[in-house]
Amino acid sequence: MPSTPNFDTLAIHAGQAFDPTTGAVIPPVYLTSTYVQKSIGELRGGYEYSRGGNPTRTVLETLLAALEGGAHGLSFASGLAAEDTILRALVTAGDHIVLGNDVYGGTHRLINRVHGAAGVRNTTVEMSDLAAVEAAIIPGETKILWVETPSNPLMKISDIGALAAIGHRFGVTVIVDNTFASPALQHPLAFGADVVVHSTTKYLGGHSDVLGGALVINDDALYEKAQFLQFATGPVSAPLDAWLTVRGIKTLSVRMDRHCSNAQAIAEHLDGHPVLDAVYYPGLPNHPGHELAKRQMSGFGGMLSIAFTGGAAAARVFAESTKLFQLAESLGGVESLVNYPAEMTHASVRGTELEVADNIIRLSVGIEDVADLINDLDTALAEVARLAHP
């Protein structure tokens, strides 16, 4: 009996059979809005209208499910569109969500302000404190336990298996945002999570040229509900976006190897620097989640954050002094980016329990030559040092 292909092989082949008409190795982009029916109600391959299904999107959804080891994949126009769809599938007015106290600002905004306005309540909690998580669950009312690991931007590591056990004891659906790790490094479903969510814009796409989001779901009934919402509300990924994401995924594993090795070298170089209070990277032995990350992940990822002793002024000087690390939103591309969360990705959580300190900088470490990246950071750090000692 043939064995299941390994991850690197799945990334290149799952859902991507050659075109049977021409033999083209790469499945085509189906830039069509509708499909000719054989007769009324008799569809070709199940395709009727591209909001409901498109062959290029089917390739991506099949691939996503295979990479996460899940039964079903769904692809969306953005990560937040994917998140909104699973929230709509699981919560209504009066329901309650427990989420981490360090998550992407857009996720909290969606849960707290958009679904909050519709009567959905939420509680933020330190996800590494299992007793606090259990205490935050309201039996019969909490419907979702929302986990981000590693978290954004402080790179906290949460124990997916332990959290899944707690959630399931109370009948709560456990959702894991796997964007920072990607399925190349972490498989939440294997630890008991019910749903995996991604911003495919990030590591899966990998080239900062396409927006997208994804859900991977094992439960058939929940999948059917989410698929209905995908069709009924229409936040689907366009064919070319789906194709670009599939193309990006083909090199995911080799890219993540370089992201991880570059980030590890940079974290070790920055650790203990006199202008820094802390370096947040799970690959450092002094990181509180280091041992858990070693057990739960196959690599520590390409994201890290740093805290400056000189406060906001130092952080701003640093962010505006790098050259290879370009000042921009987002992450996970082949190029390195620097971000100031307090006023960029996490501006919407200012004044909440998730507010990010103004001395924090987040780095998305690309796949450039690591010596060049370190030189760029050292140059910016020297500017910070001059600020402190003019």
Query: H-type helices in the chain, by residue range?
Result: 7-13, 55-68, 79-90, 105-109, 116-117, 130-136, 160-169, 220-233, 239-249, 252-270, 290-296, 311-319, 370-388
**Choice among 109, 202, 255, 362 that is catalytic:** 202
The greatest distance separating any two alpha carbons of the chain, rounded to the nearest whole angstrom, comes to 79
User: Is 223 designated active site?
Assistant: no
> Rounded to whole angstroms, how far apart are CA atoms 273 and 79?
35
Q: Count Cα atoms within 13 angstroms, Cβ side, for 52.
A: 8
Candidates 206, 320, 198, 326; CA nearest to 259 is 206
Q: Is 219 a catalytic residue?
A: no
Q: How far is CA 48 from CA 51, 53, 240, in A?
A: 9, 7, 18
Residue 104 appears among annotated catalytic residues: yes
**CB neighbours of 291 closer than 8 A, spacing ≥ 6?**
none
Q: Which two tokens stand for residue 236?
A: 């689907």
User: Which residue out of 30, 35, 47, 104 is catalytically annotated?
Assistant: 104
Give the active site residue among 102, 177, 241, 376.
Answer: 177
Q: How many angstroms separate the CA atoms of 294 and 138, rounded?
A: 32
Q: Which residues are catalytic?
A: 51, 104, 177, 202
